Amino acid sequence: MQEFEKLPGIGPRSAERLAFHILKSDKEAALALAGAIREVKENVRHCRVCYNLTEADPCPICADPRREQSVIFVVEQPNDVVLLESTGLVRGVYHVLLGHIAPLDGIEPGDLTIDALVARVKKGGVKEIVLATNPTLEGEGTALHIKSVLADLPVQITRLARGLPSGSQIEYATRAVLQDAIDGRRVF
Amino acid sequence: MQEFEKLPGIGPRSAERLAFHILKSDKEAALALAGAIREVKENVRHCRVCYNLTEADPCPICADPRREQSVIFVVEQPNDVVLLESTGLVRGVYHVLLGHIAPLDGIEPGDLTIDALVARVKKGGVKEIVLATNPTLEGEGTALHIKSVLADLPVQITRLARGLPSGSQIEYATRAVLQDAIDGRRVF
């Protein structure tokens, strides 16, 4: 129960319920869970190129010759890679920052994988860095920092489009969304 | 009670509650409501220029010499004007379509104020038409139709930006939003 309670979103009551479930379940099911937890900790690591979570190193995306290695989508977390991959829209590769700059939480640029990104660009062959950090204060600050550290390198820096989310109604848009939509309007 | 029940979102129970409220309230309050309803029907009309709801004709926005009359934001409904005005970001004027094209609901282009928009552009002095219809199937179809009827006129046609809504997290974006965000990415 003490171990379950350390997990996020599990309170004392849930921990108790989980613990009794383990006690009641057959031995195989319980050992399968224990085995999966151990296996994931032993076999899943960060890709040495893009820092995504992977069992193979480099990860299957970095190792795929059909991907455009010259276009790098920079995201905050491994789950952003999962989401973008699920759309099938990204032909390039990724770079996972493993967080965003948040000075108030003590997360400085040096805590992220920004140095490794700069090294990837300096190695050459990279044409475009697509900043795909979250459109939040921290994501935006992180994007601006990366832009500044890449400023002197011969690479184009782009950012995912901001604006009205497809399928929404203008009447429910916030001021910030409308500002992006008006400022970013394009020839149609 | 029968009259209240005809209002949107008012069922028999609410209609009963409203009717008894009128019966209980003092005469002045009841007559104030009746007067407001009559007044709004008698005095509020569509602006002859932009078709927004207004008491003065032309409406205060169309009549304001400080507004850029050369930039027209095309919206579906009068409440979109209210929202865009609340942001203070629009220096141009408006054109209210009074709906969107929806063949399945029997709403054809001729039911909207598109002819009046074309006439405004033909009169001259209009540099940019900003299509600010909703980023929905109907709004998009309406925008495409307007683009085609204005195609031969010397006016730039733009559309509000689509993409990630500011303040959101990428992990909650839909495929359509991500597609707009990736396709519309810009130099940063």
CATH code where residue A24 lies: 1.10.8.420
Given this model, what pLDDT does residue B59 score?
95
Q: Is residue B171 a part of any domain in this protein?
A: no
Domain match, B34 and B88 both:
no
Q: Which residues from chain B sit within 8 angstroms of residue A80, using beta carbons? A: 170-171
State pLDDT tens for residues B33-75.
Answer: 999 999 888 999 999 999 999 999 899 999 999 999 999 999 9
Q: Is residue A187 a part of any domain in this protein?
A: no
Report how far apart, in Å, the C-alpha atoms of A185 and of each of A164, A166, B162 are: 10, 14, 8
Given this model, what pLDDT does residue A49 score?
96
Q: What is the spatial distance between Cα B184 and Cα B59, in angstroms, rounded to a whole number?
A: 36
Domain match, A86 and A35 both:
no
Q: Which amino acid is it at A9?
A: G
Count of domains observed in chain A: 2
Q: Looking at CA atoms only, how far is residue A130 from chain B in angstroms? A: 8
Q: Which residues from chain A sit within 8 angstroms of residue B165, using beta carbons? A: 135, 162-165, 168, 173-174, 177, 180
Residue A173 to residue B83, Cβ atoms within 8 A = yes
Q: Which of A82, A185, A187 to mutate to test the interface with B (most CBs of B within 10 A)?
A: A185
ipTM of the complex: 0.79
Domain match, A120 and A37 both:
no
Q: Is residue A98 a part of any domain in this protein?
A: yes
Q: What is the spatial distance between Cα B102 and Cα B78, in angstroms, rounded to a whole number?
A: 18
Q: Which residues from chain B sit within 8 angstroms of residue A186, using beta carbons? A: 158-159, 161, 184
Q: What is the CATH number of the domain that holds A127?
A: 3.40.1360.10
Q: Which of B129, B146, B162 to mutate to test the interface with A (most CBs of A within 10 A)?
A: B162
Given this model, what pLDDT does residue B89 score?
92
Nearest CA in chain B to A168: B135
Q: Looking at CA atoms only, how far is residue A106 from chain B in angstroms? A: 21
Which residues are A68's β-sheet partners?
A92
Residue B185 to residue A158, Cβ atoms within 8 A = yes
According to DSSP H, which parts of B110-158 are helical?
114-122, 137-149
Task: Give me the domain span that covers residue A8.
Answer: 2-43
Q: Is residue B115 a part of any domain in this protein?
A: yes
Give the confidence band of A145 by pLDDT, cuts at 50, 70, 90.
very high
pTM of the predicted protein model: 0.80
Stretches in chain B below the pLDDT threshold 50: none
Q: Is residue B12 a part of any domain in this protein?
A: yes
Domain match, A137 and A79 both:
yes
Domain match, A151 and A71 both:
yes
Which residues are A94's β-sheet partners?
A73
Asked if residues B85 and B78 have their Cβ atoms less than 8 Å apart, the reply is no
Q: Is residue B170 a part of any domain in this protein?
A: no
Residue A165 to residue B161, Cβ atoms within 8 A = no
Q: Is residue B109 a part of any domain in this protein?
A: yes
Which residues are B156's β-sheet partners?
B128
Domain match, A91 and A33 both:
no
